[in-house]
């Protein structure tokens, strides 16, 4: 294996003033490591007990474990939904998403990884991308050297074995070869598109991609790369069918309606079953390139395709929630609404809004802080809000816990997720997570701990808003960039060495995190380890 240079990042060797940064996690770190292979958690015994009793009471009433429904939007910005300060104010009202937030728990420090594949794989494994090898999106032309899923234990696998029906509707983007598709890695059923919208529209939109679409020779060469443009329907251990092919921008525009209709139909089927379900609904929108559904063009006040896409996603959220209500499922279903990363500013104006610095592709808040809404009628107190740190990987452990399958979490590998059941369900719940870590490929970039955030490397655009296509990874220089996000939410002004004791605790946390890779080495699947 390549030298593990990331294990001793330069910042650890730095000194600020005359004080060496040798302090390990401690100081104001409230977390406790109980077992070597699990991320340390803040003990919350009292809220755990209250919530355990609440869940036991519900199970007595329903006679089954709760259902789990995730609604994952692609590339939606923190500032897009109305309940996060966007909505009507930025030209696309989101009444259904806002209603979900009012009726449940709105998280204001909910974190994803900085791009699609890393987040999507992390929430299904409870493991950081550098551990699974899924360090960046799989793109046309990529040749993987190893199936990353071969030796991963996925959430749908655990839940299936715990008696759940498991379904993924929509975008996958975590490998489309045999052995890597959703129904190969644990889901009972898959209905969706393997790739992101942009991967598909490259071959159907002559206005944006004329050099490819209108040039026969190039187009043939592109087709040989074999990126799927089809709506696929697959079954675990069974057949995989092509339902339809996206042949036009109108077809692309209709995709989310087709997916939402399928999810609604399946929810009605699940309601008749005596088994609980886990359904991950992944929208194609609002990832560029957005094309309006012919019936929804101009749905938003803004009329721009991106804004129409936000409004359409909101419409589908409303329809899916209505189906849950009509089928009497609301009281026994944890719903979690989120986005897999921040807005992709490179595609502006087909891009979302974040009030924070940076965007998709960076580990500044704009790239990683996303909307996060937990809703469960009767179990989550309406109108709750919390700024405690929540990592989307925690959804893995939380779902496993709700299914009563804690023993199925593997012990031979490092698990970065933390069970947050009692945080989400207690009327005054506090997070069990002390810190979240942010990576860019094999680069350990930053750590958020309480309201503090330290960067040891940063992604800097070399042209305005080009956070992916024209950006570089830079070392921060003499001292880590240390922000108090409460007084500099846009990460503009560091508190620097004036707060050295605090800085030492956060960097100590980061160093302890890096050290976990000594015993649990990263996995190389050919997506790049440099």
Nearer to Ca ion, 75 or 188 (CB): 75
Quick one: which segment of 7-15, 124-132, 341-349, 517-525 binds Ca ion (CB under 5 A)? 341-349
Q: How far is the CB of 75 from Ca ion (least distance, A)?
A: 4
Rg, the chain, Cα only: 22
**Helix or strand or coil: residue 516?**
helix
Quick one: which segment of 210-218, 340-348, 380-388, 409-417 binds Ca ion (CB under 5 A)? 340-348
Active site residue 173: yes
340: contact with Ca ion by CB under 5 A = yes
- Considering only CA atoms, which of 283, 304, 309, 300 is closest in space to residue 349? 304
75: contact with Ca ion by CB under 5 A = yes
# chain residues binding Ca ion, by CB under 5 A:
5
User: Which residue from 29, 39, 48, 74 is in contact with Ca ion, where contact means CB under 5 A?
Assistant: 74
Q: How far is the CB of 402 from Ca ion (least distance, A)?
A: 25
Find tokens 């992390």 and name the residue: 122
Structure tokens at 219: 């187009």
Rounded alpha-carbon distances, angstroms, from residue 208 to 122, 183, 197: 32, 33, 13
Quick one: which segment of 247-255, 334-342, 348-356, 394-402 binds Ca ion (CB under 5 A)? 334-342
- Considering only CA atoms, which of 351, 365, 439, 433 is closest in space to residue 398? 433
User: Which residue from 47, 113, 160, 341 is in contact with Ca ion, where contact means CB under 5 A?
Assistant: 341
116: contact with Ca ion by CB under 5 A = yes
Q: How far is the CB of 307 from Ca ion (least distance, A)?
A: 18
Q: Which of 116, 282, 288, 447 is catalytic?
A: 116
Which H or E run includes 436? strand 435-440
Decide if 201 contacts 249 (C-beta within 8 A): yes
Which residues lie across from 369 on neighbouring strands?
A: 111
- Considering only CA atoms, which of 453, 310, 245, 327 is closest in space to residue 67? 327
Longest dimension (CA), the chain: 68
Structure tokens at 252: 């692309």
Quick one: which segment of 70-78, 89-97, 245-253, 386-394 binds Ca ion (CB under 5 A)? 70-78
Nearer to Ca ion, 75 or 205 (CB): 75
Q: How far is the CB of 198 from Ca ion (least distance, A)?
A: 10
Decide if 492 contacts 99 (C-beta within 8 A): no
Nearer to Ca ion, 75 or 152 (CB): 75
Q: Which of 83, 96, 110, 173 is catalytic?
A: 173
Nearer to Ca ion, 198 or 413 (CB): 198
Quick one: which segment of 116-124, 176-184, 315-323, 383-391 binds Ca ion (CB under 5 A)? 116-124
Pairing of strands 19-20, 15-16: antiparallel
Site string for Ca ion, 475-514 (x = CB under 5 A): ----------------------------------------
Decide if 375 contacts 396 (C-beta within 8 A): no
Q: How far is the CB of 341 from Ca ion (least distance, A)?
A: 5
In this structure, what is the dihedral angle of CA atoms 499, 17, 442, 356, given to the nearest 10 degrees?
A: 40
Nearer to Ca ion, 282 or 334 (CB): 282
Rounded alpha-carbon distances, angstroms, from residue 191 to 103, 155, 233, 244, 488: 29, 18, 4, 11, 43
Quick one: which segment of 12-20, 27-35, 69-77, 422-430 binds Ca ion (CB under 5 A)? 69-77
199: contact with Ca ion by CB under 5 A = no
Phi, psi of 252 (to 5 degrees): -60, -40
**Binding to Ca ion, residues 84-103 (CB under 5 A):** none
289: contact with Ca ion by CB under 5 A = no
Nearer to Ca ion, 58 or 123 (CB): 123
Q: Other C-beta atoms within 10 Å of 22: how many?
A: 12
Q: Which residue is nearest to Ca ion (CB)?
A: 116
286: contact with Ca ion by CB under 5 A = no
280: contact with Ca ion by CB under 5 A = no
Nearer to Ca ion, 340 or 350 (CB): 340
Residues in the chain: 530
**Helix or strand or coil: residue 104?**
coil
Nearer to Ca ion, 77 or 104 (CB): 77
Rounded alpha-carbon distances, angstroms, from residue 448 to 14, 362, 481, 522: 19, 14, 12, 22
Catalytic residues: 116, 173
Interface residues with Ca ion (CB under 5 A) are 74-75, 116, 340-341
């Amino acid at each position: 294996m390549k030298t593990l240079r990331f294990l001793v990042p330069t910042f650890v060797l730095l000194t600020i003033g005359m004080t060496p940064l040798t302090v390990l996690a401690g100081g104001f770190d409230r977390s406790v490591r109980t077992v070597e292979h699990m991320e340390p958690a803040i003990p919350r015994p009292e809220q755990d007990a209250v919530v355990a009793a609440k869940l036991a009471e519900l199970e007595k009433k329903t006679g089954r474990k709760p259902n789990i429904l995730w609604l994952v939007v692609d590339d939606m910005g923190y500032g897009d939904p109305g309940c996060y300060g966007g909505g009507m104010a930025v030209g696309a009202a989101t009444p259904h998403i806002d209603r979900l937030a009012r009726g449940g728990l709105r998280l204001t420090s909910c974190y994803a990884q900085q791009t699609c594949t890393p987040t999507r794989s992390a929430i299904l494994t409870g493991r950081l991308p550098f551990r699974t090898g899924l360090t960046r999106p799989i793109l046309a032309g990529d040749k993987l050297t190893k199936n990353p899923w071969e030796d991963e234990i996925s959430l749908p696998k655990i839940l299936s074995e715990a008696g759940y029906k498991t379904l993924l509707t929509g975008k996958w983007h975590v490998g489309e070869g045999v052995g890597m598709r959703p129904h190969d890695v644990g889901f009972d059923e898959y209905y969706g598109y393997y790739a992101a919208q942009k991967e598909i529209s490259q071959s159907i939109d002559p206005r944006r991609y004329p050099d490819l679409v209108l040039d026969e020779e190039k187009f043939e060469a592109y087709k040989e790369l074999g990126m799927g443009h089809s709506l696929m329907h697959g079954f675990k251990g069974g057949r995989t069918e092509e339902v339809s092919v996206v042949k036009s921008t109108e077809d692309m525009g209709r995709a989310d309606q087709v997916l939402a209709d399928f999810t609604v139909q399946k929810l009605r089927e699940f309601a008749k079953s005596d088994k609980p379900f886990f359904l991950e609904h992944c929208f194609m929108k609002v990832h560029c390139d957005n094309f309006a559904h012919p019936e929804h063009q101009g749905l938003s006040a803004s009329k721009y395709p991106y804004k129409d896409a936000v409004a359409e996603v909101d419409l589908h959220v409303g329809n899916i929630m209505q189906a849950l209500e009509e089928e009497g499922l609301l009281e026994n279903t944890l719903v979690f609404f989120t986005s897999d990363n921040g807005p992709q500013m490179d595609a502006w104006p087909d891009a979302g809004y974040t009030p924070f610095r940076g965007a998709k592709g960076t580990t500044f808040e704009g790239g990683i802080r996303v909307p996060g809404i937990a809703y469960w009628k009767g179990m989550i107190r309406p109108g709750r809000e919390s700024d405690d740190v929540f990592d989307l990987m925690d959804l893995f452990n939380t779902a496993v816990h709700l299914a009563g399958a804690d023993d199925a979490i593997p012990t031979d590998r490092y698990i970065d997720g933390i069970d947050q059941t009692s945080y989400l369900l207690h009327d005054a719940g506090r997070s069990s997570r002390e810190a979240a870590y942010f990576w860019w490929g094999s680069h350990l970039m930053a750590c958020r701990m309480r309201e503090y955030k330290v960067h040891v490397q940063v992604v800097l655009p070399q042209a305005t808003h080009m956070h992916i296509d024209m950006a570089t990874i830079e070392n921060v220089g003499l001292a880590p960039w240390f922000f108090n996000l409460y007084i500099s939410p846009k990460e503009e002004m560091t508190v620097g060495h004036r707060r050295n004791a605090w800085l030492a605790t956060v960097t100590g946390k980061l160093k302890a995190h890096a050290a976990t890779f000594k015993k649990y080495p990263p996995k190389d699947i050919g997506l790049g380890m440099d």
